[in-house]
């Protein structure tokens, strides 16, 4: 878990893939927020299409690449959480969220984690990829 979290923090722009409401793939930049209790948390707003996509089809995949061309692929099932303590922790660590949602209690602000997450970290070295069940 430590190596996965470090990779996500070091490479803060991840690309988040869902199945769109039209059945076609949708990819957009996202940002890892927090690891707590062995769960990887992200956030979004419930007025966004991505929220509706995850409600309909909760399996997602995330990918990011380092400047040295190492990459991570992370997949799992989205589980939404109403845990206000975690929302407050995420909010306190991310100034950008204050401008968007004003407060962690905002009913539009949603957090989620990946259940049954699996990660693969690979690079161009020819070494076998590292695989993690989280």
CATH number of the domain bearing residue 86 = 2.30.110.10
Report if residue 30 sits inside a domain: yes
Q: How far, in Å, CA of 14 to CA of 30, rounded?
A: 5
Confidence of residue 97 (pLDDT cuts 50, 70, 90): very high
Query: Residue 91: which domain range?
Result: 2-125
Q: pLDDT by residue (tens digit) across 8-57?
A: 999 999 999 999 999 999 999 999 999 999 999 999 999 999 999 999 99
Report if residue 131 sits inside a domain: no
Report if residue 133 sits inside a domain: no
Domain count, the chain: 1
Q: Please give the structure tokens belonging to residue 117.
A: 């997450």
Report if residue 134 sits inside a domain: no
Q: Is 69 exposed, middle or buried (0-12, 13-18, 19+ CB in 10 A)?
A: exposed
Q: Is 31 exposed, middle or buried (0-12, 13-18, 19+ CB in 10 A)?
A: middle
Report if residue 25 sits inside a domain: yes
CA distances (Å), origin 63, targets 19, 71, 101, 102, 114:
15, 7, 26, 28, 14
């Amino acid at each position: 878990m430590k190596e996965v979290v470090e990779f996500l923090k070091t490479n803060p722009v991840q690309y988040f893939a869902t199945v769109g409401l039209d059945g076609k793939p949708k990819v957009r930049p996202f940002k890892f927020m927090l690891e707590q209790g062995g769960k990887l948390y992200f956030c979004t707003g419930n007025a966004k299409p991505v929220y509706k996509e995850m409600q309909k089809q909760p399996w997602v995949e995330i990918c990011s690449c380092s400047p040295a061309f190492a990459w991570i692929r992370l997949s799992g099932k989205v589980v939404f959480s109403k845990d206000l303590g975690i929302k407050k922790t995420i909010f306190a660590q991310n100034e950008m969220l204050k401008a968007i949602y004003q407060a962690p209690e905002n009913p539009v602000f949603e957090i989620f984690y990946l259940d049954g997450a699996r990660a693969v970290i690979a690079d161009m070295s020819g070494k076998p990829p590292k695989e993690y069940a989280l």
